[in-house]
């Protein structure tokens, strides 16, 4: 076995004798274009809604819920597809997310959520992952379209204006803090903190450190949550 590898290594480490340097350079260049192009094309194919809903797990659950929401149908006809919200658009982050997605391939092969019941059971965990991701990247995927710089408060409703011009503007809150469940049904929220940057659950000055509202605390200290 080792001899066999050594044989290959010797061939590869020896300078080429029959091919010219120009030929090697050129063919390497061409092969590079082909492979890189192929890789990118494959990546883009896996980044389409059609690809996402080719699995019944996505098609029968989350895709159905998206239908009818504001991100599916609205007055101007602009709509968001799965990767618009769930995959970063920028290359580095996209690759990082794609590598994480290998876990999803694992899940697909072993049927982690291959029935409606299994999906509903796992829904809270999956949702938490997405909330955590969006919280960590300051709702990057939202902001790809909804750019704060170009938000016109004067045409927003009073309620929206109030919160966007204060909490969002000061960076205390990010989109996902308030806008959870805008595109899909929510899991059981019994053990989730309510929305908002000024969440009383996180206000130690009002309730002290033993804040009964802070449900996240249990998660941090590792006490198992009751999840139904």
Partner 1 sequence: MTGKQVFTIAVAVIVFVCGLATVAEQFPDAPAPDGIRKGGTLFEESPAPQLADPVNTDGKRVRAYPEQPPTIPHTIRDYQINKNTNRCLECHNRIQTAVSGAPMISVTHFMDRDFQVLADVAPRRYFCLQCHVPQTNAKSSVGNTFKDVDILLRNQKQKSSQ
Contact positions vs partner 1 (CB under 8 A): 68-70, 157-159, 162, 181-182, 185-189, 194-196, 198-200, 213
- The distance of closest approach from Cβ of residue 9 to partner 1 in the complex, given in angstroms and rounded to an integer, is 59
Closest separation in Å from C-beta 154 to partner 1: 14
Residue among 3 and 158 whose Cβ is closer to partner 1? 158
- Shortest reach from residue 149's CB to partner 1, in Å: 24
Q: By C-beta, is 143 or 202 nearer to partner 1?
A: 202
- Which of 219, 169, 167 has its CA nearest to residue 197? 167
- Other C-beta atoms within 10 Å of 53: how many? 18
Judged by beta carbon, residue 25 or residue 189, the one nearer partner 1 is 189
Buried b (16+ CB within 10 A) or exposed e, 83-117: bbbbbbeeeeebeebeeeeeebeebeeeeebeeee
Total count of residues recorded for the chain: 228
- Cα separation, 75 vs 78, whole angstroms: 8
Q: Are 211 and 203 in contact (CB under 8 A)?
A: yes
CB of 147 to partner 1, least distance (A): 22
**Dihedrals phi, psi of 90, to nearest 5 degrees:** -80, 145
Closest to partner 1 by CB, 55 vs 213, is: 213
Q: Tokens 């802070």 correspond to what residue? A: 214
Cβ of residue 107: shortest distance to partner 1, in angstroms?
A: 22
- Which lies closer to partner 1 via its Cβ, residue 14 or residue 159? 159
Distances in Å between the Cα of 105 and the Cα atoms of 83, 96, 99, 109 are 16, 15, 10, 6
Is the separation of the CB atoms in 107 and 113 below 8 Å?
yes
The minimum distance between CB 189 and partner 1, in angstroms, equals 4
Residue 212: CB atoms within 10 A of its CB come to 9
Check if the beta carbon of residue 69 is closer than 8 Å to that of residue 189: no
The smaller minimum CB distance to partner 1, of residues 87 and 173, is found at 173
């Amino acid at each position: 076995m080792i001899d066999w590898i050594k044989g290959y290594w010797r061939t590869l480490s020896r300078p080429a004798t029959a091919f010219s340097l120009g030929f090697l350079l050129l063919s390497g260049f061409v092969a590079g274009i082909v492979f890189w192009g192929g890789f990118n094309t494959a990546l883009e194919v896996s980044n389409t809604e059609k690809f996402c809903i080719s699995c019944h797990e996505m098609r029968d659950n989350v895709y159905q819920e998206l239908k009818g929401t504001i991100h599916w149908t609205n007055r101007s006809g602009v709509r968001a597809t799965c990767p618009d919200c769930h995959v970063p658009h920028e290359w580095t982050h996209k690759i990082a997310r794609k590598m994480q997605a290998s876990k999803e391939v694992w899940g697909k092969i072993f049927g982690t959520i291959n029935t409606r019941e299994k999906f509903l059971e796992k829904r809270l965990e999956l949702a938490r992952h997405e909330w955590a991701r969006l919280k960590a990247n300051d709702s990057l995927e939202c902001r790809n379209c909804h750019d704060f710089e170009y938000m016109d408060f004067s045409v927003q409703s009073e309620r929206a204006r109030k919160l966007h011009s204060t909490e969002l503007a000061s960076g205390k809150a990010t989109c996902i803090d308030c806008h959870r469940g805008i595109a899909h049904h929510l899991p059981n929220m019994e053990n989730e903190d309510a929305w908002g940057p000024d969440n009383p659950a996180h206000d130690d000055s009002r309730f002290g450190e033993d804040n009964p509202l802070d449900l996240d605390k249990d998660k941090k200290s590792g006490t198992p949550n009751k999840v139904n």
